[in-house]
Amino acid sequence: MIWAYPDLNLITTLAILFGLLYFIYLFRFYLINKKLEVKMHRLFFKIILRVSYFVLFLIALSGPSVGTALKEIKEEGKDIFIAIDLSQSMNATDIGPSRLQRVKFELKNLVKNFAGDRIGLIIFSSEAFVQCPLTFDQNVIQLHLDGLNTNLVPNQGTDISAPLNMALDKFNLENSPDINSKSVILISDGEDFADNFRDQTSRLSEQGIKVFSLGVGTSQGSTIPRGNTKIIDPKTNQPAITRLESNNLKLIATQTDGQYFELSDDVQEIPDLIAAIERQEGTVTGTRMVEASANKYFYFLLIGLGLALLDLLLPIKTINL
């Protein structure tokens, strides 16, 4: 017999409590026996009856399972590339402490929700690079997230098509059999100086790869710090102002059957992003055989209830008056 979910502390507590109360019950009858004639064989029968159904209740509470059978368990997962904009505008402070620092904090919590999925990191600005290939190793992902900064990539403008093309190439190399398992989380403030992503979105859509875009920043925007100074706009010779440009991000999400979300101090849609990705169908990454057994607690419970009902409906006289 297998015990499915025994709570030994609870069972021990109940057994001690029952024994204590029943000791008081027997001691009471011992005192009565000094004055009244007690039928000991009837009292013994009542004790056996009550102890029996209480023990049956304890067995039922322990969750007994009888017999085992092999059951096939399928393990499913998704392939997710997180593409993170590391252009200088991600240092803007319209989101505290900065856009990039806030993204790093949110991503460290996000990836924990996908422990059974393969996650990869792509960093980009004017060019895109694979910072971490697809992996199940959460520790590696967290380590790479900690090290993200805007000095990791060339900063000569932002090209949103670069990470999309990189993700598409890597997915094709992986050759995953289930197209519904592939998705890209595109994180950016939306500024795009190349404006040539439309060819990439059509190819992503054809292969069933959905892009979930996350717009980071505010429409009011802010200046961009650089050391103790600020980045200057060469056209106006004034501090450059960067603002969230959501149109391109929304268009990319729409064209790939994905969704658009925002992140700022006022709008925090990371939980919605997590829920949207969780709804995506996963790929069968493997199967394993486990021993499963059926819980038979109800048999013991029914017999115990039957004995308890018998004790209630058919009281046995133990005292003769």
pLDDT tens, 113-164?
Answer: 998 889 999 999 989 999 999 998 999 999 999 999 999 998 877 888 899 9
How far is Cα 62 from Cα 65, in angstroms, rounded to an integer?
9
CB atoms within 10 A of CB 4: 13
Task: Please tell me the predicted confidence (pLDDT) of residue 32.
Answer: 64
pLDDT at 8 over 60: yes
Task: Please tell me the predicted confidence (pLDDT) of residue 257.
Answer: 92
pLDDT at 6 over 60: no
What's the mean pLDDT in 236-254?
91
SS3 assignment for the chain: CEECCCCHHHHHHHHHHHHHHHHHHHHHHHHHHCCCEECHHHHHHHHHHHHHHHHHHHHHHHCEECCCEEEEEEEEECEEEEEEECCHHHHCCCCCCCHHHHHHHHHHHHHHHHCCCEEEEEEECCCEEEEEEEECCHHHHHHHHHCCCCCCCCCCCCCCHHHHHHHHHHHHHHCCCCHHHEEEEEEECCCCCCCCCHHHHHHHHHCCCEEEEEEECCCCCEECEECCEECEECCCCEECEECCCHHHHHHHHHHCCCCEEEECCCCECHHHHHHHHHCCCCEEEEEEEEEECCECHHHHHHHHHHHHHHHHHCCCCCEEC
Which pLDDT band, with edges at 50, 70 and 90, does 185 fall under?
very high
Q: Supply φ then ψ for residue 147, to 5 degrees.
A: -90, 5
Per residue in 31-45, pLDDT tens? Answer: 666 565 556 666 677
Per residue in 47-76, pLDDT tens? Answer: 787 788 888 887 777 777 666 666 666 667
Which pLDDT band, with edges at 50, 70 and 90, does 233 fall under?
confident
- For tokens 């802010």, the residue is 222
What's the mean pLDDT in 267-282?
90
Which pLDDT band, with edges at 50, 70 and 90, does 27 fall under?
confident
What's the mean pLDDT in 203-227?
91
